[in-house]
Chains A and B, each alone.
Chain A
């Protein structure tokens, strides 16, 4: 079983952004540029998440998806603001391979069933955003960690799998963007309670965090943002790369985040391989595309 490493690109309007706890978004550059680079570096899949779509009920992501899908030939998952079967169909028509559902699935769990019957289970990924309560329970949130739902995370994960989802992505909102490492207990408990693959998301600050969530958290795949994005920004001048709204002060300084030890993808995979985790290292490098 090869563990997948999946760069996650949070998108606001035309820009790639990164927040902490999914808030306080900084503009990092154009998503297509990051996506192309990660593709060349051996990313196993990509995730595009429209981080404001749920809030404003809009979806400006599809044009970016279409452009990306024409030049990047690895699976692309698209999420953020998808509410209906028509929304899903439109994302797939733009070139997405899978869609990620959260808010709409919690409000209407039957959407998972209808969507997986209509488009195939393997097309439907359910994203679970978890916040740990003072009593130690985990509650599912929607709208990028803004809205509480009263739904208990572990029961929800089992239900999601029963309704026909092909994969679950679990994000610890408490850890997201902090670089403090993944919530290993949360990930492991979900990974061991469902028969479908689980993608761990939220919290990677250094390479060993990625290893830990595979070895101890039993994740089948790991989604990474900050470690990769800050590495990209360090080595590429993206300051002319932004447009529209957003906090770009960070970009001008081109500083990292003190809690993040950035690294490029091949270095992460080499580390994992050296520590006994199987992952894909492309054998051939074709000349084109």
Chain B
């Protein structure tokens, strides 16, 4: 078990976006968290959250400058819980088409594409999508087909509202990593993913009210499960 003084969660600070609401949400569910760009602190934590808002290319440049790319890739293949939020989810993908083509962390195969003014009833919708929107269970066959049991979304009803702010969305190559989908205008996109020890969401659970905090509470039990040695 962890020392109480030791932060459980490392929130990766690469200079972009508001990390403090992520920290406040962690603390609200009893997870000591540290905002850090130190490799040592990131590797020492029991779980790592990669948040972020802003431009994909700038974010990757910042991660390279801080020499965090391989650290994050190592975390991704470890047993530790690794959470990507918003831009943090997009960065997990192989590449983005945001102002040219940028290489991502390459942890999940797939691309990041722009919303091209989605249409609904022939009316153009605003980009960025800045609003609450519904997340749905995955209808197609796959690992998480129709169920959120034993996932970070456990306990939430199908169609729950989460808070979104984004102009781009991730398109994973392998549908089986899809955990939830969301519709904006005529576009249906991956609003959350689950792959091995990785959970990633396009929405902001820390800003999605009591329902979003439920996700943080679920993460607590994932972290506790992982900190207990497995008998296999």
* Chain A residues with CB below 8 A from B211, complex form: 282-284, 286
Can you name the residue of chain B whose Cβ is closest to the Cβ of A199?
Answer: B130
Interface size class of B (residues with CB under 8 A): 35 or more
- Taken together as a complex, chains A and B put the C-alpha atoms of A71 and B24 apart, in Å, by 8
* Chain B residues with CB below 8 A from A69, complex form: 20-21, 24
- Pick from B184, B207, B210, B211 the residue with the most CB of A within 10 Å: B210
Judge whether B207 and A96 touch: CB under 8 Å.
no
Known contacts being A70-B27, A73-B210, A286-B211, is A97 close to B127, with CB within 8 Å? no
Residue interface mask A268-289, B partner, CB < 8 A = 1: 0000000000001011111011
Query: Does chain A have a CB within 8 A of B16?
Result: yes
Q: How far is the CB of B167 from chain A (nearest CB, A)?
A: 8
- Majority secondary structure of chain B interface residues (helix, strand, loop or mixed): mixed
- A-B contacts at CB below 8 angstroms, number: 127
Which A residues between 201 and 247 are near B, CB-CB below 8 angstroms?
220-221
Judge whether A73 and B17 touch: CB under 8 Å.
no
Judge whether A70 and B213 touch: CB under 8 Å.
no
Known contacts being A1-B125, A122-B53, A196-B128, is A283 close to B28, with CB within 8 Å? no
* Chain B residues with CB below 8 A from A44, complex form: 131-132, 163
Can you name the residue of chain A whose Cβ is closest to the Cβ of B23?
Answer: A95
- Taken together as a complex, chains A and B put the C-alpha atoms of A284 and B64 apart, in Å, by 41
- Taken together as a complex, chains A and B put the C-alpha atoms of A79 and B9 apart, in Å, by 30
* Chain A residues with CB below 8 A from B185, complex form: 1
Query: Does chain B have a CB within 8 A of A121?
Result: yes
Judge whether B128 and A1 touch: CB under 8 Å.
no
- Taken together as a complex, chains A and B put the C-alpha atoms of A117 and B214 apart, in Å, by 32
Judge whether A289 and B130 touch: CB under 8 Å.
no
Contact among B54, B87, B126, B209 for A73, CB-based, below 8 A: B209
* Chain A residues with CB below 8 A from B25, complex form: 73
Contact among B28, B132, B156, B165 for A122, CB-based, below 8 A: B165
Residue interface mask B1-26, A partner, CB < 8 A = 1: 00000000000000011101100110
22 intermolecular pairs with C-beta atoms under 8 Å apart: A1-B185, A69-B20, A70-B24, A73-B21, A73-B28, A73-B207, A73-B208, A73-B212, A74-B207, A75-B207, A92-B18, A92-B20, A94-B20, A97-B21, A121-B128, A122-B130, A122-B165, A166-B165, A221-B131, A284-B214, A285-B210, A289-B210
